[in-house]
Chain A
Amino acid sequence: MKHTFEQLRLDSVSRSFTNAEGQQLAALKGLDLNIQRGEFIALLGPSGCGKSTALNCIAGLQPLTGGGIWLDDKRIDVLPPEKRGFGMVFQNYALFPHMSVLDNVGFGLKMRGVSKAEATKRAKAALQLVQLIGHDAKLPGQLSGGQQQRVAIARAIVIEPPLVLMDEPLSNLDTKLRIEMRAEIRRIHGKLERATIYVTHDQDEALSMADRIVVMKEGVVQQVASPKEVYSRPKNLHVARFMGFRNVVQATLEGTQGDCVAVNANGVRLLGTPMEGFDSKRVAVALRPEDMERVAPGTENAFDAHVEVVEYGGRDSLIIIDTAFGKLWARIAGECSEGERITLRVAPSKTLVYGEEK
């Protein structure tokens, strides 16, 4: 069934609670987001950033303390979860342990008063979609983690919800299965023209699955953008750190040079791309370990480094280097030994310059 809704609109959705000392704590501060039909959105952030709270608020499992949720022009945040009709996949799957696989998947249809024969037919079709056939009569406890995961997805999509909510659904699976299931979830999403909101703390998952990523920190949205944009142009230092810019160097702004800015990091001159948050000469430069390349000594915009620790990784090595502006991480291809002196360079487009951290 194709859904006719056009968009789900979160209008400054907020959620705060009172702790034991009577203080108001905000778990989610004014989340604004428009989700179009067919979109795959990832809510990304470290634990405690409010991403699961956001999901529970949308599902109706936690009440909002401010703002509203609209499905086209229908306000839904006032409805109890059973009236919203969104499919949800829980982190621990929350399969009903006393019901067979078929009854688990058919539960939502049973609650909607669908006839037994019709429910069985549709539950079987959903199980086929998640490629889990021949386990209908088993109890969830008799299935492997990956199979339980598929049952949970089938159960959430069989009710044909306009929106499927997934709360870290892959975090309990092993690495190999996790990568398989990523593609699987994308495939299922593509087959059903509806929106998916996917909560994760794993940036690889978000980058590989989502159409748009919402990066969150402490209940506040940091950036909403395509995976490519979030990966290469993190809006601020928090997002940059989360997206793998492990090295943040303090520097002073020297001037502009075309589209680039020149900075001085403790005597070393580097060229970088200006980002956001400038309000003084003090800046922070973010560098990914992966973006460092070995160059001949004396190359422009390069810096000298002393290799302190080498962590051999096969294709490349993760090394800790000491430079004029502090200790950094670098991931470089080829041989490298501890104590060696090397020269490294990061392309100006990958050297991101932000305003100094407050």
Chain B
Amino acid sequence: MIALPAQRDPKGWLVAPALIFILALFIYPFAYGLMLSFNPMNGGGMWANYVTFFTDSSMWPTIIVTLKLAVPATIINVGVSVPVAFALRRTSPWQKFATTLLVVPVTLGTVLIADGMLTYFSPNGWFPQALQALHLYGDEVRLTHNYWGVLISLIVSGFPFAFLLTLSYVTGIDPTLARAAATLGANPWQQFRQIYLPLLLPGLTMTACLSFVQAFSVFPSAVLLGAPAGPTRVISIAASEAAFENYDYALASTIAIVMGFVQLLVVGGMLGARRFFYTGPVTGGKG
């Protein structure tokens, strides 16, 4: 028998452009930033920047501040998108209307949303004026330049995203499953609780992960709608200050790495929890 030389499939080279793209745009900058963070501008050993971050009281609390915004925003976005998506799960004019309406904020971008919100929610804006005119709330309504302004903007920009993802998960579940549950005696709440929710959980975890990452990296709205010196001094503001005000790129890289690490920790935790749920097909058999 003649041993044939191992033939390489030349089609394998088709992966090269994507690989180069990933290397050039993700791996290299990440590795560069990581190395940079271990080379402090002012000397003092490779961990000096990390020591600075976790001891400086203008830096480490930004993690807490950011979490205080990102966690509630994620919970609200995912939590509200479930009942709304569930209500709109059947193809109807309402579903089309809602999805069209909700795509708008996704396309607008955070700066435009922030600008609109400044007009709408500021003490002289429509919303506080309307509340006072209707005597629903007597005191001054403060929804801009504080925590609430940033949270609202995170919901406005994050909810459509969470909703559209959740809707695709909900509509992917075979509706005959709920009908089968109904014939077996399950009322609408039990159909949701016993059938839809368990089948949705893996998808919802994914949605929560993506929503969280998006919210945790909040920057423009924290500056424009928040109080960037105090209550909404999020971690990206600290990084931006280090890079563009103090020109300390090494420290800025350190903050970025810490930011990534916190996100990784939360996402890892959520995906880890997903293992305890059912993951698999969401249809009821062959056919």
Contacts and interface: CB of A to CB of B under 8 A. Distances in A.
Contact of A94 (B177, B186, B198, B281): B177
A172 B185 contact: no
A110 B3 CA distance: 64
Interface stretch (B115-123, B127-135, B142-150, B187-195): B187-195
A310 B180 CA distance: 48
Interface string B179-217: 111111111001000110011000000000000000000
A61 B183 contact: yes
B285 A148 contact: yes
A113 to B, nearest CB: 9
A97 B199 contact: yes
B284 interface: yes
A141 B280 contact: yes
Interface residues of A, number: 35
A206 interface: no
Interface of B: 174, 176-177, 179-187, 190, 194-195, 198-199, 278, 280-287
Contacts of B187: 80, 82
A87 B181 CA distance: 10
B185 A85 contact: yes
Given A61-B179, A91-B287, A111-B190, A97 B184 contact: no
A59 B178 CA distance: 13
Contact of A159 (B182, B185, B280): B185
Contacts of A156: 183-184
**What 8 pairs across the A-B complex have the smallest Cβ distances?**
A92-B287, A98-B278, A93-B285, A108-B184, A111-B185, A94-B284, A94-B180, A81-B182
A140 B199 CA distance: 14
A82 B199 contact: no
Nearest to B182: A81
Nearest to A87: B183
B186 to A, nearest CB: 5
B194 A107 contact: yes
A81 B286 contact: no
A148 B182 CA distance: 19
A93 B287 CA distance: 8
Nearest to A92: B287
B185 A92 contact: no
Contact of B182 (A80, A97, A145): A80
Contacts of B283: 92, 97
8 contacts: A80-B182, A92-B174, A93-B284, A95-B180, A97-B281, A97-B282, A98-B198, A111-B184
A206 B199 CA distance: 36
A81 B284 contact: no
A191 interface: no
B183 A59 contact: yes
A93 B285 CA distance: 6
Contacts of B198: 98
A95 B183 contact: no
Given A82-B183, A90-B179, A148-B285, 20 more contacts: A60-B183, A81-B179, A82-B184, A82-B185, A88-B180, A90-B284, A92-B174, A92-B284, A94-B180, A95-B180, A96-B181, A96-B195, A98-B280, A107-B186, A108-B185, A111-B190, A112-B185, A145-B285, A156-B184, A172-B285
Q: Kindly name the residue among A86, A91, A98 whose own CB sees the greatest number of chain B CB atoms within 10 A.
A: A98
Contact of A141 (B176, B179, B195, B281): B281
Contacts of A155: 180, 184
Nearest to A62: B179
A112 B181 CA distance: 12
